[in-house]
Amino acid sequence: MTHLHTQLDAQGRLRHFLTIEGLSRKLLIELLDQAEGFLGVAQQAVKKVPLCRGKVVANLFFETSTRTRTTFELAAKRLSADVLNLNISTSATAKGESLLDTLRNLEAMHVDMFVVRHAESGTAHFMAAHAAPHVSIINAGDGRHAHPTQALLDMFTIRRHKGGFDHLRVAIVGDILHSRVARSQMLALKTLRVPDIRVIAPRTLLPAKVEEAFGVSAYYDLAEGIRDVDVIIMLRLQRERMSSALLPSEHEYFQLFGLTEERMKAAKPDAIVMHPGPINRGVEMDSAVADGRRSVILEQVTNGIAVRMAVMAMCLGSQGSK
């Protein structure tokens, strides 16, 4: 299913940012280039640009995530937008308000953009389908489906370190099956023409037919999978998976799939290590790797603000061109 019709306006500009699927390589590169320009804003004495002055952005987080919400809030404020943070889990849903009621009430307050995070897959698409013509929706993570801004900030971080994409070997390690981040990353890497995309996990944590569906290579052995790669993306292991039959213990997972300095030797000497956070230290990787010279994890957080500024600026900019 393609969501092209709901994401772009009549001029082919980004109106909503719901998924990487269906977006062109040209558009992704344009967003990365725009984010590059925003990176310097944090170094200015006044950390603001007036691009979205007068616009109102509402953060609708039905699922908690301090870092994602905070970086979206900072991004909007750096664009000079006004920001509403709504703790929906304790307000609207507690009163039995439906998603559409929440949307309509906030539209009546002249909100221009909603940043939506929800445990149900498809929520952001549903809201985009019902939003008023002047309103933009950004998906900040929906169920197991997509987390497009995380994938884009990861691509931005990779490009800053590796220059381009067409010569890279990239490995994604961990719970591929349940990860919306992994889905978005695989789509982005494919769109940006990365020739060698690898997914590494226990068989129980890989989707069926993942190789055919996403054009990736599957590996069940960490050492083999990360051999000679340029980029290693470690995924957060959901602790609730441990209590199911999908995984043995955290200790055993670390023995087989945890990233250590020793195991890093299989990758290229200048390979970088990434993680969407928060890290379970001693489960996905040890602290020596997380805090080591090849880790770019904190850079990802910094880059996330610039990338989210680029996405918001493009969506809010398309509103003005109607």
Cβ within 8 Å of residue 181, ≥6 positions away: 147, 150, 151, 235, 276
The answer to the question of whether 67 is labelled as a binding residue is: yes
The answer to the question of whether 278 is labelled as a binding residue is: yes
Cβ within 8 Å of residue 195, ≥6 positions away: 166, 167, 168, 169
The answer to the question of whether 37 is labelled as a binding residue is: no
Amino acid at 150: Q
* Sign of the torsion formed by the C-alpha atoms of 18, 24, 30 and 35: positive
**Which residue is catalytic, options 16, 145, 147, 275?**
147
The answer to the question of whether 277 is labelled as a binding residue is: yes
**Which residue is catalytic, options 16, 69, 117, 275?**
117
**Which residue is catalytic, options 67, 110, 167, 193?**
67
Dist. CA 314–CA 312, nearest whole Å: 5
Contact yes or no for 20/151 (Cβ under 8 A): yes
Residue 95 annotated to the active site? yes
The answer to the question of whether 125 is labelled as a binding residue is: no
The answer to the question of whether 157 is labelled as a binding residue is: no
The answer to the question of whether 150 is labelled as a binding residue is: yes
Residue 204 annotated to the active site? no
**Which residue is catalytic, options 95, 203, 209, 293?**
95
Dist. CA 121–CA 45, nearest whole Å: 40
Dist. CA 57–CA 221, nearest whole Å: 44
- Angstrom CA distances, 122 to 126, 129, 130, 299, stand at 6, 11, 13, 29
The answer to the question of whether 16 is labelled as a binding residue is: no
The answer to the question of whether 169 is labelled as a binding residue is: no
The answer to the question of whether 300 is labelled as a binding residue is: no
**Which residue is catalytic, options 15, 16, 68, 149?**
68
Residue 134 annotated to the active site? no
Q: Which residues sit in the known binding site for L-aspartate?
A: 95, 180, 236
Which residues participate in catalysis according to the annotation? Answer: 67-68, 95, 117, 147
Q: Which residues sit in the known binding site?
A: 67-68, 95, 117, 147, 150, 180, 236, 277-278
Q: Which residues sit in the known binding site for carbamoyl phosphate?
A: 67-68, 117, 147, 150, 277-278
